[in-house]
Amino acid sequence: MNQKLLRQIPKVDELMKQPVLQQLCEAVPAQKVTEAVRQILDDLRGGILAGSVEELPAVDTLCAMVAGAANKKAEYSLRKVINATGIILHTNLGRACISRRAADAACEVAQSYSTLEYNLQAGRRGTRYSHVEELLCKLTGAESALVVNNNAAAVLLILSDMAQGGQVITSRGELVEIGGSFRVPDIMEACGAELKEVGTTNKTHLWDYDRAITEKTRALMKVHTSNYRIVGFSETPSLPELVELGHSRGLPVIEDLGSGCLVDLQQFGIHGEPTVQDSIRAGVDVVSFSGDKLLGGPQAGIIVGRKAIVDKLKKHPLTRAMRVDKMTLAALEATLRSYDAGLTDEIPTIAMLSATPAKLRAKADILCGLMTGAGIAAEVVSTEGQVGGGSVPTQMLPSFAVAVQPAGVNLDQLETNLRLGSPAVIGRINHDRFLLDVRTLQENDYDAVVKAVAEAEK
Ligand SMILES: *Cc1c(COP(=O)(O)O)cnc(C)c1O
């Protein structure tokens, strides 16, 4: 019986001639389709030998199985997902979505030669940092600027250059660990600098810093406690106070701002996130922040500050090892130009942060209408999202979500099916409902979301 079934398994070439699979070869590389045919036929043979397959599937069914397997094989590992979590800067989902303008700029220089290190006016070598330096200075008020791969690299560079062999004074309340094992004390050690902790977890006074200054001190450092807050009986000196102390003792003040926001988020009801301009205005000598957090640009570590300090950083050997590529610089220049032109709504991160409840409600109504139109049981509910990316951790953002009641599966299965679908849709289960928060959804993805849910609830 087994032998007979085994003989009936179609040949690879035969199956490949099926019109459906021929057509599939136009969308997916033919080699992937052949691999998928082999895989499906091998599985079938295995099933027959193990006794779990007692009948050959119809050719149509086999072709559908092959198509499924081939599409999976052709899928990129790093690919788009639809974020319906309401967390704007979701680190696992790639933090900020860059703007259309930024993506176009990166795409253009990626596919052509560019002015990366070429000064067209002079007809000779230029510098890669020139493309963003002026904009960064104009937007932040700083004298000079430099861009490296990410903020962790920026902090490493600053401390290596300014504090190696000496001490840096930091408050105990600011010894931050952020995701991915970036810890201020460890970075300090890696730079050959000694961390001098002062104060207590909840309170650090100006005189704590003052008393700790010795001839070994190289700098005072402030770290923005981006992903946690110490609330209640807590106190730290203000930036201007710290700057005054540092400068009166001949010491520079360094700040790791983490997120690095260029617009005042209070206008959107988000409190406690300082701007880069605030730090420069307070007289901080060198400030570093991320490009892909609240700034809403590509991954980068941006350093702004006094010319003498930043110029020295530019010449540090580590700078070459941390240099950013042309796509990053193109996307960053475009993002900064949006800020410069006052067109911050072009930047998805800022647009998502500033979306009003009325706008979110309207978005949710549209998506919900599309869902019910497709026969899916859905309703609009109010919910809470987060900024994410280690920013403003204590504030929830009131938002709206579409809650789905799946027809044929339970909520866990719905969540799994959506996650494994193509494109993957990431939502969350809350109080026995599956929620798709519209704050982080882009309108041109609505049709894909509805289709994905219709598939996943079966
Ligand atoms: C996020 C963050 C960093 C690291 O920035 P990356 O750009 O992810 O390298 C460093 N310090 C603080 C305070 C942060 O919030």
From CA 190, how far away is CA 188, in angstroms rounded?
5
Q: CB count, 10 Å around CB of 316?
A: 16
pLDDT at position 201, please?
Answer: 77
Q: Last residue of a domain, which of 294, 320, 346? A: 346
284 & 142 share domain? yes
142 & 288 share domain? yes
263 & 410 share domain? no
328 & 385 share domain? no
Q: Last residue of a domain, which of 315, 346, 377? A: 346
Q: What parts of the chain have a pLDDT lower than 50?
A: none
Instruction: Please return the burial class of 373, using the count of CB atoms within 10 Å of its CB with bins 0-12, 13-18 and 19+.
Output: exposed
Q: If phi over 0 gives left and psi between -120 and 50 gives alpha, with beta otherwise, what is residue 342?
A: left
Domain of 273, CATH number, reads 3.40.640.10
**How many A from CA of 423 to the centre of ligand 1?**
29
105 & 57 share domain? no
Q: Which domain holds residue 51?
A: 2-74
Q: Can you give the three-state secondary structure of the chain, one letter per residue?
A: CHHHHHHHCCCHHHHHCCHHHHHHHHHCCHHHHHHHHHHHHHHHHHHHHHCCCCCCCCHHHHHHHHHHHHHHHHCCCCCCEEECCCEEECHHHCCCCCCHHHHHHHHHHHCCCCCCCEECCCCEECCCCHHHHHHHHHHHCCCEEEEECCHHHHHHHHHHHHHCCCEEEEEHHHCCEECCCEEHHHHHHHCCCEEEEECCCCECCHHHHHHHCCCCEEEEEEECCCCCCCCCCCECCCHHHHHHHHHHCCCCEEEEEECCECCCHHHHCCCCCCEHHHHHHCCCCEEEEECCCCCCCCCCEEEEECHHHHHHHHCCHHHHHCECCHHHHHHHHHHHHHHHCCCHHHCHHHHHHHCCHHHHHHHHHHHHHHHHHCCCEEEEEEEEEEEECCEEEEEEEEEEEEEEECCCCCHHHHHHHHHHCCCEEECEEECCEEEEEHHHCCHHHHHHHHHHHHHHCC
178 lines ligand 1 (CB under 6 A): yes
**How many A from CA of 345 to the centre of ligand 1?**
24
57 & 128 share domain? no
Measuring from atom 6 of ligand 1, which residue has the nearest CA? 151
**Number of structural domains found in the chain:** 3
**How many A from CA of 152 to the centre of ligand 1?**
6
Q: Which amino acid is at 284?
A: V
Measuring from atom 1 of ligand 1, which residue has the nearest CA? 258
291 lines ligand 1 (CB under 6 A): no
409 & 433 share domain? yes
Q: Which amino acid is at 387?
A: V
Q: pLDDT by residue (tens digit) across 221-255?
A: 999 886 667 777 777 889 999 999 999 999 999 99
207 & 60 share domain? no
pLDDT at position 236, please?
Answer: 87
Q: If phi over 0 gives left and psi between -120 and 50 gives alpha, with beta otherwise, what is residue 389?
A: left
Cβ 393 vs Cβ 229: under 8 Å: yes
pLDDT at position 182, please?
Answer: 76
158 & 26 share domain? no
139 lines ligand 1 (CB under 6 A): no
222 lines ligand 1 (CB under 6 A): no
65 & 130 share domain? no
297 lines ligand 1 (CB under 6 A): no
65 & 108 share domain? no
62 & 159 share domain? no
**How many A from CA of 236 to the centre of ligand 1?**
21
Q: Last residue of a domain, which of 288, 320, 346? A: 346
pLDDT at position 227, please?
Answer: 67
Domain of 410, CATH number, reads 3.90.1150.180
**How many A from CA of 237 to the centre of ligand 1?**
22
223 lines ligand 1 (CB under 6 A): yes
pLDDT at position 202, please?
Answer: 81
